[in-house]
Structure 1
Amino acid sequence: MRVEVDLDRCEGNAICVGIDPDLFDLNDDEQAEVKLAPIPADRQAHAEQAIAECPRAALRRADD
């Protein structure tokens, strides 16, 4: 599993970072970026939670 960020939608609310700061971060433009790809199995629940809770629906699951 991978997570992709739609940078046109991301407002840098950092909900994803709050869910798992080892998985998500904000870049220099204050937009989300995924730090791990593919997502390790033990972090996939956090990734799914971040996708579901993103207020701008800027995250999406991308299966390899």
Structure 2
Amino acid sequence: MKVWVDDQRCRGHGVCTTLCEEVFSLTDDGYAVAIDSEVPAQFEAATEEAIASCPEQAIVKR
């Protein structure tokens, strides 16, 4: 699975980093980014939860 965060939609709620800090982090400005676009298999379930929980629907799965 590959993911990225749409920087035009992210508002910095940080839900994704709370649910899966191994895949997402916050920039110095407080917005989320995917650490690496390729999600390791062991973090796919947490990543799916982050996608579903994002208030702005800013996480895109490919």
TM over 0.5: yes
Looking at structure 2, the residues matched to 52 and 44 of structure 1 have their Cα atoms a distance apart, in angstroms, of: 12
Gaps of 5+ in 1: none
1:20 corresponds to: 20
Code of the aligned partner of 2:50: A
Looking at structure 2, the residues matched to 56 and 41 of structure 1 have their Cα atoms a distance apart, in angstroms, of: 25
Code of the aligned partner of 1:51: I
TM-score (norm 1): 0.89
Looking at structure 2, the residues matched to 30 and 23 of structure 1 have their Cα atoms a distance apart, in angstroms, of: 16
The answer to whether structure 1 residue 46 and structure 2 residue 7 are counterparts is no
Looking at structure 2, the residues matched to 25 and 4 of structure 1 have their Cα atoms a distance apart, in angstroms, of: 11
